[in-house]
Structure 1
Amino acid sequence: MRKRKPTKRWLATASPLTRAAIVFVAVVVTLVLAAWLTARPRDPTLYPPPPGEAAVTVRLVAGAWHSGLLLPREDLARAAEEAGDGALLEVTERFRAYPALEIGWGDAGFYRTVPTVEALDGRLALRALFTPGGRPAVLHVVGVAAEPEAAFPGAEIVTLRLSQAGFRRLAAALGRAVTMRDRHPVVLGPGLYGPSLFYAAEGRFSLLAVCNHWSAGLLNAAGVPVTPLLDTLPRGLVLDLAWRAGAHAP
């Protein structure tokens, strides 16, 4: 008769607690390995900016379930003009009265109907995350005049200094996210708070492409290292930027 392998015999006789611990460790190791394999590296030619070079300061604004980027409007308009990006130029011109723009990306249905955590609809969230093929996306653009901490009380705000070249790459990636129709960005209506608008956006929202992945992707375009698996949640993105990019809260 064929003998059972010692490992299998040991697992069969192990206590439920021991087996649970083994499963837990295996899951953790798998997640760590997946995070490492999918991590996107830093581009040393873009980030951090070389000593003595003028830098562009951008901020990640992270809430409980959503994150966006706070970008200097003049720098964004200048980058769009240099690149001939009509979509981004039109957006920055529309908000020309404000020194900064907070821009986020997300599911068109969920983003436009769930302004706060208190308004969270679990069924709508599940539909947004697990619809096969993903769901249509929108951009949310807010004109910001106040200091970041005053404009977004309660949010975690992470500051990064980007090189000029890195910021231009970020602006180019942002411009590609704006859906155009008849050579103009598609305005969908008023935003959730303050002077804001929703725009139709490129991309499909899903569990593998949430708002925090989008924010991380723009920063990665600027040369910042990111870890998509960790960046799924806002808090994970904040920690990722602290650990891998040396970013800091004010």
Structure 2
Amino acid sequence: MSLARRAATLLALLLAAVLLAAWLTARPGDPALYPPAPGEAAVTVRLVADAWHSGLLLPRDALAQAAAEAGDGALLEVTGRFRAYPALEIGWGDAGFYRAVPTIEALDWRLALRALFTPGGRPAVLHVVGVAPEPGTAFAGSEIVSLRLSRAGFRRLAAALGRTFAAHDGHPVVLGPGLYGPSLFYAAEGRFSLLAVCNHWSAGLLHAAGLPVTPLLDTLPRGLVLDLAWRAGASGPHPP
């Protein structure tokens, strides 16, 4: 067998293995939560994805109401702190990398590799940004995917989000100013690693809301965007 044919065979086998792994690890959605029934009240949330990171853009009032109904004091405190803004953009990631690399131009490969491959994972943080009514101006260059969630699904998402905030005496732990705009970093639950990156976190919250997700595909922002379009029928992606 020629070298070219061997390479083609190996590539085909690798592709088949990846597709099989994606299929085996795919998580089904919950039809009782997503999509909302025709005529049912819905809450629109957005996935904001760039070259290496994704986060969720959530309506602040709906999030505050869900936190109050669930008695989630930490999440209620966060939404109260950003009460002047109609939406919150929230992301999760490695504490060292996230705080040190605000843009792709500032990428430090040593930090990236350390974040992805440290045995046992690394501490995580949450980044919360207050967003004005027109989010496009805040996310130039990012893709935005819109998703209509049922109210029950949104409450599940809010509950999962609330569990991500690390709390001390019932209060979220503020770590300092965020990267841009009116923003703050908060201490977070979970450990960041190659098997638990920011895009998995975003997908996990959407899965809590009833959407089907494919963790292997969702490792990269573009994969998550395509996953939501293919399996959840999401509108987009579209530029801000």
Identity %: 81
Q: Who is 1:148 aligned against? A: 135
Tell me which amino acid in the other structure corresponds to 1:141: V
Matches within 5 A, 1:17-32: 17-32=4-19
1:204 is aligned, of 191, 206, 225, to 191
Report the secondary structure of 1:227's partner residue. Answer: coil
Q: What residue is the counterpart of 2:228 in the other structure?
A: 241
C-alpha separation in 2, matches of 1:153 and 1:225: 28
Counterpart Cα distance in 2 of 1:149 and 1:196: 17
**Residue of structure 1 equivalent to 2:94:** 107
Q: Distance in 2 between matches of 1:239 and 1:196?
A: 28
CA RMSD of aligned residues (A): 0.6
Q: Does 1:163 align with 2:150?
A: yes
SS at match of 1:129: helix
CA-CA distance at 1:167 after TM superposition = 0.2
Unaligned 5+ segments in structure 1 are 1-13
Task: Write the letter of the residue equivalent to 1:16.
Answer: L
Question: How far is the alpha carbon of 1:148 from its aligned partner?
Answer: 2.1
TM-score (norm 1): 0.94
In 2, the alpha carbon distance for the partners of 1:18 and 1:168 equals: 53
Other-structure match for 2:120: 133
Deviations 1:79-137 (A, max 9, x none): 00000001100000000000000000000000000000010000000000000000000
Aligned residues: 237
Distance 1:229 1:148 in 2: 29
Q: Normalization by structure 2: what TM-score?
A: 0.98
CA–CA distance in structure 1, aligned partners of residues 82 and 97 of structure 2: 24
Q: What's the counterpart of residue 211 of structure 2? A: 224
Letter in 1 for 2:25: T
| Secondary structure, aligned partner of 2:235 | coil
Match of 1:188 in 2: 175
CA positional deviation for 1:146? 3.5
Which residue type is aligned with residue 60 of structure 1? L
Matched, 1:175 2:162: yes
Task: Name 1:62's counterpart in structure 2.
Answer: 49
CA distance in 2, matches of 1:183, 1:85: 9
Q: Which has the larger radius of gyration?
A: 1
**Cα distance between partner residues in 1 of 2:179 and 2:50:** 14
Runs of 4+ deviating beyond 4 Å: none
Say whether 1:44 aligns with 2:31: yes
Aligned to 2:61: 74
Match of 1:6 in 2: none
CA shift, 1:220, in A, is 0.3
AA paired with 1:166? G
